[in-house]
Amino acid sequence: GESVGLHLPTLSVQEGDNSIINCAYSNSASDYFIWYKQESGKGPQFIIDIRSNMDKRQGQRVTVLLNKTVKHLSLQIAATQPGDSAVYFCAENVDLTGANSKLTFGKGITLSVRP
């Protein structure tokens, strides 16, 4: 089965609130993780990444937290906006610098922002 999964299929948040999207992974050898956002009718778009030697990384309005002990990844979106409505995917990678490295995607979670 998949080694990466998301706890909830959908998440509904009020505009302006913070959103937290969670992801579990099972491969302790994974050394790199990415969050992607996919809007309707478009390809996945990179949001933020984190390597396994870090536990937190911040971007613009987004923060990724990595807990290797429990193999858990989360994406926090501050002040959620209607434009954040999309399907979000976490993905993990093993053998980051190898030519045969590949991303394994988890199941998507839909974020719906209520006005």
Partner 1 sequence: DTAVSQTPKYLVTQMGNDKSIKCEQNLGHDTMYWYKQDSKKFLKIMFSYNNKELIINETVPNRFSPKSPDKAHLNLHINSLELGDSAVYFCASSQVMSQAYEQYFGPGTRLTVT
Q: Which residues bind partner 1 (CB under 8 A)?
A: 2, 32, 34, 36, 38, 41-46, 49, 87, 89, 93, 96-105, 107-108
Which is nearer to partner 1, 41 or 115 (by Cβ)? 41
| Tokens 């199941």 found at | 107
Backbone phi and psi for residue 37, each to the nearest 5 degrees, phi listed first: -120, 135
* Cβ-based nearer residue to partner 1, 53 or 69: 53
Q: State the nearest-atom distance from the C-beta of 78 to partner 1, in Å.
A: 21
Residue pair 31/52 in contact (Cβ under 8 Å)? The answer is yes
- Minimum distance from residue 16 beta carbon to partner 1 (Å): 27
Q: How many CB atoms lie within 10 A of CB 11?
A: 18
Q: How far is the CB of 89 from partner 1 (least distance, A)?
A: 7
Pick 63 or 105: Cβ nearer partner 1: 105
Q: Which is nearer to partner 1, 40 or 69 (CB)?
A: 40
